[in-house]
């Protein structure tokens, strides 16, 4: 099962559980502390799960491996500590600071990993992705300084950096469709192999999306599909 299917299945499960809790609260005519804790736990699970899956996907694709590992560590540690705080309600300033730091760096890591997974163009890997990552990490560093110093100074810088990071992630799939790989970066055609006398060739194109050209037809290919070429049976 692909990472995307696992994520969608997990997200659907969380939304379904949240809906059941909400329906139960409505029928009982009371939305109490327990229901609030359940919703908070589900939200924590969603963020931690998203970060973990993005990290695993980066490791599988061999891109941004340090951030992939960091995402797994932060998501696991963050989920355990936030779930503990939600249900145990620790009254400790130091504990809250630790939770704030974990949340800031988890969100920054999630922005970096998801942006990298969406970035396929070499131009964007060299330009927009580093800029987006820098903005996300700088935003996390800024809010970390605010948390540790217990001061609100710097919130404007944090807000600007966060907006820039989100903007970079949002622009990535849009610009991807209009970015053409330069001829110098890769050959226009790449021979993949030969099967039963037929040569299988990968051809670069300016159009985004995975497709297979069969005669006069172009067949779209999903992200989780693999092309297999076999010799025709006699």
Q: Over the stretch 70-114, which tens digit does the pLDDT of each residue have? A: 999 999 999 999 999 998 888 889 999 999 999 999 999 999 999
pLDDT, position 183: 46
Q: Taking the model in full, what pTM does it have?
A: 0.70
Between residues 65 and 185, the one the model is more confident about: 65
Which range, of 33-47, 144-158, 177-191, averages the lowest pLDDT? 177-191
Percentage above 90 pLDDT, the chain: 38
Residue boundaries of the structural domains of the chain: 3-176, 185-234
Q: Which two tokens stand for residue 138?
A: 């700088």
Q: Which two tokens stand for residue 142?
A: 């800024």
């Amino acid at each position: 099962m692909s990472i995307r299917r696992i994520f969608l299945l997990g997200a659907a499960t969380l939304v379904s559980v949240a809906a059941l809790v909400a329906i139960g609260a409505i029928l009982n005519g009371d939305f109490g502390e327990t229901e609030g804790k359940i919703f908070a736990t589900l939200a924590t699970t969603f963020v931690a799960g998203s970060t973990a899956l993005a990290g695993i996907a980066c490791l599988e694709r061999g891109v941004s491996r340090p951030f992939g590992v960091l995402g797994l560590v932060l998501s696991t540690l963050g989920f355990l500590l936030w779930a503990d705080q939600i249900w145990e309600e620790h009254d400790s300033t130091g504990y809250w600071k630790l939770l704030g730091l974990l949340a800031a760096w988890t969100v920054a890591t999630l922005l970096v990993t998801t942006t990298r997974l969406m970035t396929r163009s070499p131009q964007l890997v060299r330009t927009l992705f580093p800029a987006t990552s820098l903005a996300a990490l700088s935003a996390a560093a800024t809010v970390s300084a605010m948390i540790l110093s217990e001061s609100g100074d710097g919130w404007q810088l944090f807000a600007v950096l966060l907006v820039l990071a989100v903007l970079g992630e949002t622009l990535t799939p849009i610009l991807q469709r209009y970015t053409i790989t330069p001829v110098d970066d890769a050959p226009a055609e790449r021979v993949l192999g030969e099967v039963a006398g037929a040569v299988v060739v990968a051809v670069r194109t300016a159009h985004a999306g995975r497709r297979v050209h069969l005669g006069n037809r172009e067949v779209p290919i999903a992200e989780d599909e693999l092309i297999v070429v076999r010799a025709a049976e006699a």
